[in-house]
Amino acid sequence: MKSVGHTQEAQEDIVQKASVEEERGLSIPSVCTEDGEESPGFAHPADMADHLENLTPEKRVCALRHMPKEDAAEALAELDGNLASDVLENMDADVAAQIIAEMSPDDAADVLDELDEEHRNVLLHRMEKEAFEELRNLLSFDSDSAAGVMNTEIILLERDMSADAAIRHIRQAMEDMENPYYAYVVDARDILVGVLSLRNLMLSRPGTLVSELLTGHSVISVPYDMDKGEVAKLLSHYNFLAIPVVDYEGHILGIVTYDDSMDIIHEEASADMLGMVGADPDESVDTPWLESVGKRLPWLLVNLFNSAVSASVVYMFEGSIAQMAVLAVLMPMVANQAGNTGQQALAVLIRQLANDRFDSRKSWVAVWREAKIGLVTGSAMGILAAIGSGVFTGNWKIGLVMGGALLCDMILGAIAGGSIPLIFRAMGRDPAQASSIFLTTITDGAGFFIFLGLATFFLL
Amino acid sequence: MKSVGHTQEAQEDIVQKASVEEERGLSIPSVCTEDGEESPGFAHPADMADHLENLTPEKRVCALRHMPKEDAAEALAELDGNLASDVLENMDADVAAQIIAEMSPDDAADVLDELDEEHRNVLLHRMEKEAFEELRNLLSFDSDSAAGVMNTEIILLERDMSADAAIRHIRQAMEDMENPYYAYVVDARDILVGVLSLRNLMLSRPGTLVSELLTGHSVISVPYDMDKGEVAKLLSHYNFLAIPVVDYEGHILGIVTYDDSMDIIHEEASADMLGMVGADPDESVDTPWLESVGKRLPWLLVNLFNSAVSASVVYMFEGSIAQMAVLAVLMPMVANQAGNTGQQALAVLIRQLANDRFDSRKSWVAVWREAKIGLVTGSAMGILAAIGSGVFTGNWKIGLVMGGALLCDMILGAIAGGSIPLIFRAMGRDPAQASSIFLTTITDGAGFFIFLGLATFFLL
């Protein structure tokens, strides 16, 4: 985030709300508040959820139990996943099942997915047969796939319907569902053949057939097993409100909507930052800490091994260091500076690879760009470091060795930082995962080797 | 990105397109293609823009010049900012002005904002007075603010309109604009008093007044000068399609829509990764490389200074290293490992601070969580490093010093990594910017001090 002047509290003040009288608001029932008075109303379930997140677990369960089921369903859908499953586990199963039944199927599946299997089955078996089967079906899909995040509430039209009949059909369907973004047109075999926006329908002349409104363009859809990150990228690429999810025969199964997409985009964009340093891309402050230990240890072990490799380079020059201990003082500066240069290149390339429009032919132009940046910044830092270390040690030869090593290692760091994500991708790996760890091995090892090597050759 | 199995090419294959006959497609005019044949049609301007990005600059200008103005406008809006301004600078000013006139005002302002002032004025003065004034007005806002990204094409309703009149009004307005997400209700003084979705209107009984359809909830809006990142967070928080932008008197100026919001969210989430290592948060592979040099140099300079501070710690123990050169071999491993631990904590906390729902009271719980992770991973790595260095040097005392120093520095790294973003935020700074540089100074300096200090005390 670039602007941080506004903390959450300040932000709430800044959001202006036109003052109109409250008619029906969401509120915390009086039996669950500290002072026994009903809480002030919230205009939106997301605000209610924020408030619930700051309550104690007991009060949170109490509030959700006592408020109208549909309000509880909306608030539960907005709660953080870990907290939502916590609430459901500590609530009477009948009440929990009633709340889940009020949620939209995709939100209900998300919440149930967080529960352990036993709890999930208890709740599922208390639901009506139709809802039970729909949810069990949704839960069978990989939660990181298009089908795992899709919404199954969609409006289907037939090709030979009139536009007026379609509008009537939509009006009726709208009473039970959230905003319909598009209506999807299917043929007799239920295969997706077209998409209409409400705009298309509202602008149609009376008597037009649905089939006449179809633009003739192909419908862009995604297969049910596409990674959710790719789906979100496509949705953002096309600026769609929703994208249809189909099976391999072309039958429509559901839609992925822009709101889920925004969450996925945020999650995946910040996942790279975590992956880069060897943390789990899904980790948050709510991840149980021992789980984090398990996820981080393997990469810390790789890092320990890698840093032992760099250390072995230093070991080769143990004799030089024994003769001239000041080399040990300057050597980490070379490695550190090149590591930082490399990380900057790394971050730029990882960001670019996360962008679906990045042409692979441009990749190596981008590495060349980093090499040029490394050359110029390396020269500047090299000159400074040469002067600084020359003055500090009173030995201009040390200064020259320091400056030269810094320049070489910074150029190498820039090229390595730019290339690592591209190489990882070419290998079919995540371009970000642990990239910083591998980069540092290169910049440390090479930095020590170049600096100590030059020093041994020229100074001793 | 977690899934990288699909490259861009593969992704295009995966996107399924129901096969229907092409009616009108976007295509590259034949005069501008290699083989003199018209390119295949594109179903969506975003795909056309992708294709244009891979052409040579001359062919790109040629294609945009020769295609219908409205198609060119849509494709231009989807082009990368640097390329779009490039096209406009190399095109006949009259044609460029015509294309810009076809764009939606927010897209037009974005493109014009990338041009240098002279070019911008040339183009603006070729437009009609109304468009000229609207664009000049939009360009006067900070491009990182709500007003800088808002769309001014909105549908306004009056309170005492009937719902049917409102629907007719919307139908008419829809002919000239993109999808209207909501209709905004204003009072006699043009102050925003309510918002209606098309769903609300379509479900209304005939004869209802617009004022009766208002829910009574306050309208959530943002002031024109709110940071665009905050606006995008709010939009995502509330799952809105659009959020109204108002001035401090409450007059509606425009809306920020979900599609711009998705771009902003992606941009800002990946900005943290760049900021963390001291690159410019807005940098991409298309940023002119000398501009990147200018942006990165200051932080590289800070890093050089900081690593000199850590190096001065080593200097304090120059005598110990001269006596026992193997210390110089092991010392970077301590610093490196603690640095990596700290970066993992850093990334988790930065991600969490980017989430508007993160309660500041929870912050220190998160640091405590990192300290526990540091204790366990530090113990595991400390034992391994103790055994490894003990065996390697044949001196179990060196092993103990190494293990102890690693444990201490890793705990310190975890706490520092967790705290730095919180401290930066409390200081009103960006929690990410250069955080990794400051972290490394701490883990390097402390690592060298603890390791060399213990070694001097116990070994020499």
Residues B6-19, mean pLDDT to the nearest whole number: 40
The answer to whether A161 and A169 are in contact (CB under 8 A) is yes
Residue B10 has pLDDT above 50, yes or no: no
pLDDT digit string, tens, across residues B329-361: 999 999 999 999 999 999 999 988 887 666 677
Percent above pLDDT 90 for chain A:
38
d(CA B446, CA B453): 10
d(CA B407, CA B433): 27
Distance from CA of B273 to the nearest CA of A (A): 5
Size of interface A-B (CB pairs under 8 A): 495
Residue B41 has pLDDT above 80, yes or no: no
With H, G, I as helix, E, B as strand and everything else as coil, classify residue B358: coil
The pLDDT of residue A413 is 97
Give yes or no for A295 touching B (CB within 8 A): no
The pLDDT of residue A320 is 94
The pLDDT of residue A209 is 86
Kindly indicate the confidence band of residue A263, based on its pLDDT and cuts at 50, 70 and 90.
confident
Lowest mean pLDDT among A220-229, A285-294, B314-323, B366-375: A285-294
ipTM computed for the complex? 0.79
Residues linked to residue A24 through DSSP beta bridges, in sequence order: none
What is the sign of the dihedral through the CA atoms of A108, A109, A110 and A115? positive
Residue A203 has pLDDT above 70, yes or no: yes
d(CA B186, CA B195): 9
A144 neighbourhood in chain B, CB within 8 Å: 2-3
* A211 vs B438 pLDDT, higher one: B438
CB atoms near residue A195 (< 10 Å): 25
pLDDT digit string, tens, across residues B91-102: 888 889 889 888
Q: Which CATH code of 3.40.50.300, 1.10.10.60, 1.10.150.80, 1.25.60.10 fits the domain covering B24-140?
A: 1.25.60.10
The pLDDT of residue A40 is 67
Q: Using alpha carbons only, what angle is made at residue B58 by residues B54 and B60, rounded to the nearest 5 degrees? A: 45
- Between chains, do B307 and A44 touch, taking CB under 8 Å as contact? no
The pLDDT of residue A137 is 86
Percent above pLDDT 70 for chain A:
90
Q: Which candidate from A218, A360, A385 shows the least CB-CB separation from B20?
A: A218
d(CA B81, CA B290): 18
The pLDDT of residue B57 is 84
Mutate to test the interface with B, among A104, A273, A280 (most CBs of B within 10 A): A273
Among A22-36, A252-266, B395-409, which range has the highest average pLDDT?
Answer: B395-409
Tokens for B380?
């595991």
Residues A190-204, mean pLDDT to the nearest whole number: 82
The pLDDT of residue A24 is 46
Kindly indicate the confidence band of residue A409, based on its pLDDT and cuts at 50, 70 and 90.
very high
The pLDDT of residue A2 is 33
Dihedrals phi, psi of B149, to nearest 5 degrees: -115, 5
With H, G, I as helix, E, B as strand and everything else as coil, classify residue A252: strand
pLDDT digit string, tens, across residues B206-236: 788 888 888 766 788 999 999 998 899 889 8
A222 neighbourhood in chain B, CB within 8 Å: 14-16
Q: Under CATH, which architecture does the A25-140 domain have?
A: Alpha Horseshoe (1.25)
Give the chain A residue whose CA is nearest to the CA of B225.
A14
Distance from CA of A285 to the nearest CA of B (A): 6
Give the chain A residue whose CA is nearest to the CA of B380.
A297
A356 neighbourhood in chain B, CB within 8 Å: 8, 11
Give the chain A residue whose CA is nearest to the CA of B285.
A366
The answer to whether B99 and B76 are in contact (CB under 8 A) is yes
The pLDDT of residue B37 is 67
A198 neighbourhood in chain B, CB within 8 Å: 179, 198
The pLDDT of residue A368 is 94
The pLDDT of residue A202 is 73
Q: Under CATH, which architecture does the A289-459 domain have?
A: Orthogonal Bundle (1.10)
The answer to whether A325 and B402 are in contact (CB under 8 A) is no
pLDDT digit string, tens, across residues A44-93: 888 888 888 878 888 888 888 888 888 888 888 888 777 888 888 888 88
Listed by start position, the domains of chain A span 25-140, 155-272, 289-459
The pLDDT of residue A357 is 61
Residues linked to residue A252 through DSSP beta bridges, in sequence order: A246
Distance from CA of B125 to the nearest CA of A (A): 31
The two beta strands, A252-257 and A242-246, are antiparallel
The pLDDT of residue A216 is 67
With H, G, I as helix, E, B as strand and everything else as coil, classify residue B53: helix
Sheet holding B16-17, edge to edge: A252-257, A242-246, A220-223, B16-17
A220 neighbourhood in chain B, CB within 8 Å: 15, 17, 43-44
Residue B199 has pLDDT above 80, yes or no: no
The pLDDT of residue A5 is 35
Give yes or no for B113 touching A (CB within 8 A): no
Q: Which candidate from A283, A289, A337 shows the least CB-CB separation from B304?
A: A337
Q: How buried is B24 (Cβ within 10 angstroms: 0-12 exposed, 13-18 middle, 19+ buried)?
A: exposed
Q: Which candidate from A19, A366, A377 shows the least CB-CB separation from B285?
A: A366
The third-level CATH classification (topology) of the domain covering B155-272 is CBS-domain (3.10.580)
Upper half-sphere CA count for residue B39 (Cβ side, 13 Å)? 22
- Between chains, do B46 and A376 touch, taking CB under 8 Å as contact? no
- pTM for the whole thing? 0.79
Residue A234 has pLDDT above 80, yes or no: yes
The pLDDT of residue A18 is 38
Among A134-138, A433-437, B88-92, which range has the highest average pLDDT?
Answer: A433-437
Distance from CA of B122 to the nearest CA of A (A): 31
